[in-house]
C-alpha cells in the first residue's frame, strides 16, 4: 500500500478512534495525504480551575493532528512524537474545537508537521509544530490498524 491510498487513511482513523485515551473525549478525525483534521466538543470536564479548557487538551489535539499528518506518509511503521513545541494564544470555554495538521517535510528518519487549533468561531486558539520519528513498531492489527488490500 502507498501513502496515497485512502485505505491507509481509513486504517489510521480507525486506529485513532479505537485508542483508549479517546474513549471519553469522543473526537472525530479525517486524514488525507499530509493532512489531518480532528474535532471535539469543549466540555466542563476539560476545564482547569479558571473555567476554561486546560492546555493539556490543546496539546493533545495539536499533537494528534500533526502526528496523523505525519503518519499519513508511512504505511509500514508507527511514527512517534520526538519533540513538539506549543504556543497557547487564547482560552476557550465552549463550542467545538478543531485541530488542523499539515505535513511540512518527510525525510527518511524524521517527519516534520505542524497544527493549528481553532475555536468554533474560527479564531486561532493555539498552534504547534513537531518532529516525528519512524519507530521499529510495524503498523498492524495489534495497534488497531486494519486495512483491506
> How would CATH label the architecture of 6-143?
Roll (3.10)
Q: Each residue of 19-55: pLDDT tens digit?
A: 999 999 999 999 999 999 999 999 999 999 999 999 9
What are the boundaries of each domain within the chain? 6-143
Q: What is the pTM of this model?
A: 0.94
What span, in angstroms and rounded, lies between the C-alpha atoms of 27 and 144? Answer: 16
Cα(135)–Cα(84) distance, integer angstroms: 17
Mind listing the pLDDT tens digit of every residue in the chain (149 residues)? 566 789 999 999 999 999 999 999 999 999 999 999 999 999 999 999 999 999 999 999 999 999 999 999 999 999 999 999 999 999 999 999 999 999 999 998 899 999 999 999 999 999 999 999 999 999 999 999 987 65
Report how far residue 52's alpha carbon sits from residue 50's, in angstroms, rounded to the nearest whole number: 6
Amino acid at each position: 500500500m502507498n501513502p496515497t491510498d485512502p485505505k491507509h487513511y481509513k486504517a489510521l482513523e480507525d486506529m485513532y478512534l479505537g485508542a483508549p485515551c479517546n474513549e471519553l473525549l469522543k473526537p472525530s478525525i479525517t486524514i488525507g495525504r499530509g493532512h489531518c483534521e480532528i474535532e471535539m466538543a469543549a466540555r466542563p470536564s476539560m476545564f482547569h480551575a479558571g473555567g476554561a479548557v486546560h492546555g493539556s487538551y490543546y496539546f493533545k489535539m495539536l499533537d494528534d493532528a500533526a502526528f496523523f499528518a505525519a503518519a499519513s506518509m508511512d504505511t509500514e511503521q508507527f511514527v512517534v512524537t520526538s519533540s513538539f513545541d506549543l504556543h497557547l494564544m487564547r482560552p476557550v470555554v465552549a463550542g467545538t474545537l478543531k485541530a488542523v495538521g499539515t505535513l511540512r517535510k518527510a525525510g527518511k528518519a524524521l517527519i516534520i508537521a505542524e497544527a493549528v487549533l481553532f475555536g468554533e468561531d474560527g479564531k486561532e486558539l493555539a498552534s504547534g509544530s513537531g518532529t516525528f520519528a519512524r519507530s521499529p513498531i510495524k503498523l498492524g492489527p495489534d495497534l488497531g490498524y486494519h486495512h483491506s488490500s
